[in-house]
Chains A and B, each alone.
Chain A
Amino acid sequence: MSDIKSAFENGKAFIPFVTAGDPNLETTEKLLIAMSENGADIIEIGIPFSDPIAEGVVIQEADLRALASGTTTDKIFDMVKRIRPQIKCVLAVMTYMNPIFVYGTDKFMAKCKECGISAVIVPDTPFEEKSELKPHCDKYGIDMVSLIAPTSHDRIKTIAKEAQGFLYCVSSMGVTGVRSEITTDVGEMVRLVKSVSDIPCAIGFGISTPEQAKKMSESADGVIVGSAIVKIIAKYGTECVQPVCDYVKQMKEAIM
C-alpha cells in the first residue's frame, strides 16, 4: 500500500493546496505544519510557475507573488526536507511540466523521495505524455497522479486503469478557481473510474464552502481545495496561518 492510500483511511480525505513561497517560504513552512495538525490528509505543495495555464487568476497571482519573493524549486525542497519530520500527513507536489523537465525530471523525482514527497500532480501532462514522467516516478517510488475532466468520457477508463496514488477528478470546465455552482455529474465520473479500478478519487476545481465539500465528498473519496485557501493567504499575508487552519478544520469536519 502506498502512503497515498493511507491518507484515505481516516474518513473522506481533505486535500488542501498552497503555493510554496506565497507570500514567502517561512509562511509556507508554518502552513504545512499547521494544516497537517488541523485535518489535512494530503497537502498539495504548488511549485510556482511563471505561466500556469490551468490556473485561474487567484493561483496565477499566488505563483507570481511566490516567484517575486525569490522562491525556487531548490529552496522549496530544502524547506520541505527540513520540516518533513514535523508533518504528519502525506505530501504531494503540484507543478507544471517545464519546471520539472528543466530541473531534470530524474533529479526532481530523486529530490521528492529525499524530501518525503509521495506524489506529483502535473496538469499539463496528459495520459499520452506520461512517458515523460512515469519512468522517473517509478524509479523513486513516486506516484504520478492522473487527472480526469468532465470532457474525458471514453478516456476515463483508460486513464483509471493505469492511475497511481489517487485520481484527481476535475469537477468543472475551465481553470482553477472558486465557483458558486458545480454542474458536472461527478458521481458518474467516479462510477466509471470505480468500474475498472479501486483507486481513491478526489474531486477538485471550484470547491470552497463546507456545503460544497460535503456534497462532493458524497460521491468521492476526497476533496481538493486550492483557490479558496490561496485567497485567505492573499488576504492575510504572513498572518494567514490561523485563518487557514480554521478553514481547513472546518472543511475536514464537513466531510468526516
Chain B
Amino acid sequence: MSKGKFGIHGGQFVPETLMNAINEFEEAYNRYKDDPEFVSELDELMREYAGRPSLLYYAEKMTNDLGGAKIYLKREDLNHTGSHKLNNCLGQCLLAKKMGKTRVIAETGAGQHGVATATVAALLGLECEIFMGKEDTIRQALNVYRMKLLGAKVNAVETGTMTLKDAVNEAMREWTNRVADTHYVLGSVMGPHPFPTVVRDFQSVIGKEIKSQLLEKEGRLPDVVMACVGGGSNAMGAFYDFIEEKSVRLIGCEAAGLGVDNPKNAATIANGTLGIFHGMKSYFCQDEYGQIAPVYSISAGLDYPGIGPEHANLSDTGRAEYVPVTDEEAVCAFEYLSRTEGIIPAIESSHAVAHCMKIAPSMDKDKIIVVNLSGRGDKDVAAIARYRGEDIYE
C-alpha cells in the first residue's frame, strides 16, 4: 500500500534496496517521537545547544518604512549554525543514534544543511559525509571548509547540473550502497515517506513558537505567515501549526531566478508539472518527456527542480499561495533588510523578505505579517558583492 500521501502527492518511489531502510526509519520515528526520554533529550538540545526558542522580532523600522502591515521576523538566523536546518538535524541524528547508526550522510545546496548535519554529527559522535554539487562548492566555498572543520568529508558532485538535485541523487546512491550503519539525513520536506512528515515535524517548532510568541506580544494570530520555498522545510515548519487556522494566509516564495518566463528559474509551482522523482509524486520543473530541467537561482538553497509533496497539496487545495520572486528582487531585499534593520538575511530568506516588501505597503496597519527569516546571510556576502559587480572572493 502506498504510504505518506498528501492528497495525490508523496509516496515512496525509491529502489527496493532502500525500502527496508526507510521502513526501519519510519518504525523508529513512530516509536520515539512521543517517547518521553527522546522528547526531553531533543528539547534540551534545542534549548541548550541550538538556542531555542528563536526570537520573534518586531521589525519596527521596516514596518514604518513600508507604511503598511506590522512586520515580525522569526529569527531562525539566530539558531546555532545560522539557519533553521539544525532543528531537523538534531531530530534526525538523535533518532539515527537511537537506531544504532554510526554514520550519517546528507545532501546540501547552499551548505546550510551540510553544516548543520556536520555540526550535530560532531556533537553526537557520528561519522559524517556530505554531498554537494560542484557548482555549489564554488558558490559556497566557505561552507565547504566549515564542514571539513567540523570533521565531515565533503564530496563534490560532478554529475548532471552539479547542484542540489545532483547532490540528492548522489546521496541516495550512496545510501543504497551502505544502509546497514548509515542514515540519510534528508534536509527538506521531500523525498520518500517518511521524510516529508519527519522533517516537517522536527521543523514545526518554528510555527509553534511563532504562534505562542505572537499571542504573547499581540494577543492574536498573524494575518500572514510567509517563507521561502525550495524543497520547503522552513516554510513547512512555519506553516504547519497554522494550517487549521483558516484566517492566516500562508505564502511560499519560490526562486524565479531571472524571471518565470526565462528558462533560468526554479519556480516549481509556477512552472512545474506533476511528476514522480526523488521518491515522491509532486510538481517538478521538467520537459514533456519527464526529463528533469536544469533549474537556476542565485540562491543555491532554492536551486531545486521540485517541491515537497505537502506544499504541492497545499497549493492544490489553495490553502497556501506560492509566488515567484526573482534574483534581482531577492538581492534588493537582502540589501534592504541589512540597511534598514541591521540584519543580513540569507539570500534564500531574502526571497520571502522581498515578497513582504511587495505586499506590506498595501495592507492595513493593524494587520500582521510574520516572515520566517530562515537563515543568516554571512555566507552570501561575497556572492552578492559579485552580483553587484564587486570582485570579492571568500
- Looking at chain B's contact residues, the main secondary structure is mixed
Contact among B12, B165, B273 with A51 in the assembled complex (CB-CB below 8 Å): B165
- Whether B288 pairs with A126 at a CB distance below 8 angstroms is no
Contact among A50, A73, A129, A153 with B20 in the assembled complex (CB-CB below 8 Å): A153
User: Any chain B CB within 8 A of the CB of A152?
Assistant: yes
Per the bound structure, the CA–CA distance linking A147 and B14 in Å amounts to 11
Given contacts A103-B290, A151-B17, A175-B177, contact A98 B276 (CB under 8 A): yes
- Looking at chain A's contact residues, the main secondary structure is mixed
Tell me the smallest distance from the CB of A91 to a CB of chain B, in Å.
Answer: 20
User: Which residue, of B176, B179, B281, has the highest number of chain A Cβ atoms within 10 A?
Assistant: B176
Q: Within residues 134 to 155 of chain B, which ones have a CB less than 8 A from any CB in chain A? A: none
User: Any chain B CB within 8 A of the CB of A223?
Assistant: no
Given contacts A53-B15, A129-B12, contact A174 B173 (CB under 8 A): yes
Chain B positions 9 through 29: 1 when the CB is less than 8 Å from some CB of chain A, otherwise 0: 001111111111100000000
- Whether B177 pairs with A129 at a CB distance below 8 angstroms is no
Chain A positions 164 through 197: 1 when the CB is less than 8 Å from some CB of chain B, otherwise 0: 0000001001110000000000000000000000
Per the bound structure, the CA–CA distance linking A98 and B286 in Å amounts to 10
- Whether A54 pairs with B176 at a CB distance below 8 angstroms is yes
- Whether A126 pairs with B177 at a CB distance below 8 angstroms is no
Given contacts A98-B277, A102-B290, A175-B177, contact A126 B15 (CB under 8 A): yes
Per the bound structure, the CA–CA distance linking A31 and B297 in Å amounts to 41
Per the bound structure, the CA–CA distance linking A60 and B169 in Å amounts to 11
Per the bound structure, the CA–CA distance linking A68 and B268 in Å amounts to 24
- Whether A126 pairs with B16 at a CB distance below 8 angstroms is yes
- Whether A129 pairs with B13 at a CB distance below 8 angstroms is yes
- Whether A155 pairs with B20 at a CB distance below 8 angstroms is yes
Contact among B11, B21, B275 with A98 in the assembled complex (CB-CB below 8 Å): B275
- Whether B17 pairs with A173 at a CB distance below 8 angstroms is yes
Contact among B3, B275, B279 with A102 in the assembled complex (CB-CB below 8 Å): B275
How big is chain B's contact interface, by range? Answer: 35 or more
- Whether A173 pairs with B178 at a CB distance below 8 angstroms is yes
User: Any chain A CB within 8 A of the CB of B292?
Assistant: yes
Number of A residues near B (Cβ < 8 Å) is 44
Complex contacts, B2 vs chain A, CB 8 Å: 128-129, 131-132
Complex contacts, A146 vs chain B, CB 8 Å: 16
- Whether B16 pairs with A147 at a CB distance below 8 angstroms is yes
User: Any chain B CB within 8 A of the CB of A123?
Assistant: yes
Complex contacts, B179 vs chain A, CB 8 Å: 151, 173
User: Any chain B CB within 8 A of the CB of A110?
Assistant: no
Complex contacts, B3 vs chain A, CB 8 Å: 128
Per the bound structure, the CA–CA distance linking A149 and B23 in Å amounts to 15
Contact among B13, B160, B178, B290 with A124 in the assembled complex (CB-CB below 8 Å): B13
- Whether B177 pairs with A51 at a CB distance below 8 angstroms is no
User: Any chain B CB within 8 A of the CB of A58?
Assistant: no
Chain A positions 109 through 153: 1 when the CB is less than 8 Å from some CB of chain B, otherwise 0: 000000000000001111111011000000000000011111111
Per the bound structure, the CA–CA distance linking A56 and B12 in Å amounts to 21
User: Any chain A CB within 8 A of the CB of B291?
Assistant: yes
Tell me the smallest distance from the CB of B296 to a CB of chain A, in Å.
Answer: 15
Chain B positions 257 through 300: 1 when the CB is less than 8 Å from some CB of chain A, otherwise 0: 00000000000000001111111010010101111100000000
User: Any chain B CB within 8 A of the CB of A79?
Assistant: no
Complex contacts, A73 vs chain B, CB 8 Å: 289
- Whether B15 pairs with A51 at a CB distance below 8 angstroms is no
Complex contacts, A128 vs chain B, CB 8 Å: 1-3, 11-12, 19
Per the bound structure, the CA–CA distance linking A47 and B276 in Å amounts to 16
Residues of A near any B CB (own CB < 8 A)? 49-51, 53-54, 56-57, 60, 64, 67, 72-74, 96-103, 123-129, 131-132, 146-153, 155, 159, 170, 173-175
- A-B pairs with the 7 shortest C-beta distances? A102-B290, A174-B177, A149-B17, A99-B290, A98-B290, A50-B291, A97-B276
Give 21 A-B contacts (CB < 8 Å), ordered by A residue: A49-B290, A49-B291, A50-B160, A54-B173, A72-B289, A96-B277, A98-B276, A124-B13, A125-B13, A126-B14, A126-B15, A128-B2, A128-B19, A129-B2, A131-B2, A132-B13, A146-B16, A150-B17, A152-B20, A173-B176, A175-B173
Known: A53-B278, A129-B13. 5 other contacts (CB 8 A): A72-B289, A126-B15, A127-B16, A150-B17, A159-B16
